């Protein structure tokens, strides 16, 4: 079974609009971390935001925020006021305390339209 | 510069050959992770080393092997290469603890022809 599910293979969004990228996860651990990474066409993996399972507040980093709904096991990434440079592949990922490695979802390709 | 150094950036080789990918982790990081990303695919975990010891193994083929040296740099060896091994290979390092993400290197793009 997949531990990280990203149901949107691709999205098209108009510039300056907000966009939500969906991510659900599956774990039986109480302690875990959730991450979002951005991969532009150049290929590098860029860390965007982190949410800990015990964090009560949603994480925010500039225009990025993570909508964390623990009971639903959901960790959606919200990008406010999207820009052309936001066009990229976005990966949701999880790291469980019992397991040192990070597991990635299959990604969502985001296209920002001018 | 993320602090994680991967060399080479690009590699083109023929089927049946063997190549070595190199990774130097960020200063102070003891763990090194290797991932494979095939075309339009997510990242597949291959193997993890921690302070010179193998810590976890993922879907790594028997033709592939890795090691981490005393200076903490790591090498991923790919042998008897097949066309399907063409991919972007990432190395990442991180600090210990579940709330630390990875810092990725820029990747090695391997093309097998």
Is B101 within 8 Å of A97 when comparing Cβ atoms?
A: no
Is A107 within 8 Å of B106 when comparing Cβ atoms?
A: no
Dist. CA B105–CA B74, nearest whole Å:
12
pLDDT at position A26 is 95
Give the dihedral sign, CA B27/B29/B33/B38: negative
pLDDT of residue B98 exceeding 90, the answer is no
Dist. CA A97–CA B86, nearest whole Å:
32
Q: How far is B91 from chain A (nearest CA, A)?
A: 10
Which candidate, A39, A27, A34, A69, places its Cα nearest to that of A49? Answer: A34
Using DSSP's 3-state secondary structure scheme, residue B85 falls into helix
Q: How far is A56 from chain B (nearest CA, A)?
A: 14
Which pair of structure tokens corresponds to residue A52? 């800990």
pLDDT of residue B101 exceeding 80, the answer is no
Using DSSP's 3-state secondary structure scheme, residue A85 falls into helix
Measured in degrees and rounded to the nearest 5, phi and psi for residue A86 equal -80, -10
- Find, in chain A, the residue whose alpha carbon is nearest to that of B91: A45
B contact test, residue of A46, A98, A101, A103 with most B CBs within 10 A: A101
Residue B96: band (very low, low, confident or very high) from pLDDT cuts 50, 70, 90: low
Q: How far is B98 from chain A (nearest CA, A)?
A: 5
Per-residue model confidence as pLDDT tens for chain A (114 residues): 669 999 999 999 999 999 999 999 999 989 899 999 999 999 999 999 999 999 989 999 999 999 999 999 999 999 999 999 999 999 999 988 777 788 999 999 999 999
B112 neighbors B82 (Cβ within 8 angstroms): yes
Q: Which candidate from B2, B41, B98 shows the least CB-CB separation from A97?
A: B98
A contact test, residue of B42, B44, B87, B107 with most A CBs within 10 A: B42
Please state the rounded mean pLDDT for residues B84-88. Answer: 95
B97 by Cβ neighbours in 10 Å (0-12 / 13-18 / 19+) ranks as exposed
Q: How far apart are the first and last CA of chain B?
A: 30
pLDDT of residue B107 exceeding 70, the answer is yes
pLDDT at position A72 is 96
B58 neighbors B46 (Cβ within 8 angstroms): yes
Q: Is A103 on the interface with B (CB under 8 A)?
A: yes
Q: Is A9 on the interface with B (CB under 8 A)?
A: no
Is B98 within 8 Å of A95 when comparing Cβ atoms?
A: yes
Q: Which residue has the higher pLDDT, B77 or A97?
A: B77
Which pair of structure tokens corresponds to residue A44? 């590098």
CA dihedral A59, A90, A11, A80 (to 10 degrees): 30
A42: left (phi over 0), alpha (psi -120 to 50) or beta: alpha
Provide, as residue numbers in chain B, all residues whose Cβ is less than 8 Å from the Cβ of A105. Answer: 42
pLDDT of residue B99 exceeding 80, the answer is no
Strand B10-13 with B64-68, pairing:
unpaired
Provide, as residue numbers in chain A, all residues whose Cβ is less than 8 Å from the Cβ of B57. Answer: none
Mean pLDDT of chain B: 92
CA A75 and chain centroid, separation: 7
B73 neighbors B24 (Cβ within 8 angstroms): yes
């Amino acid at each position: 079974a997949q531990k990280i599910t990203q149901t949107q293979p691709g999205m098209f969004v108009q510039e300056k609009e907000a966009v939500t990228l969906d991510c659900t996860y599956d774990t039986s651990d109480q302690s875990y971390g959730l991450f979002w990474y951005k991969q532009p066409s150049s290929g590098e993996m860029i860390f965007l935001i982190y949410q800990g399972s015990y964090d009560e507040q949603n994480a925010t980093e500039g225009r990025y925020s993570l909508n964390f709904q623990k009971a639903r096991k959901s960790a959606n990434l919200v990008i406010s006021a999207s820009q052309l440079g936001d066009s990229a592949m976005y990966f949701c990922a999880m790291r469980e305390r019992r397991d040192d490695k990070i597991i990635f979802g299959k990604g969502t390709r985001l296209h920002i339209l001018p | 510069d993320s602090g994680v150094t991967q060399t080479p950036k690009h590699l083109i080789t023929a089927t049946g050959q063997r190549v070595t990918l190199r990774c130097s982790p960020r200063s102070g990081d003891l763990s090194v992770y290797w991932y494979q990303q095939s075309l339009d695919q997510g990242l597949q975990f291959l193997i993890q080393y921690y302070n010179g010891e193998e810590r976890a193994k993922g879907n790594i083929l028997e033709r592939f092997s890795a090691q981490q040296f005393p200076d903490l740099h790591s090498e991923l060896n790919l042998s008897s290469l097949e066309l399907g091994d063409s991919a972007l290979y990432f190395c990442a390092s991180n600090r210990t603890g579940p709330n630390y993400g990875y810092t990725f290197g820029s990747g090695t793009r391997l093309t097998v022809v």
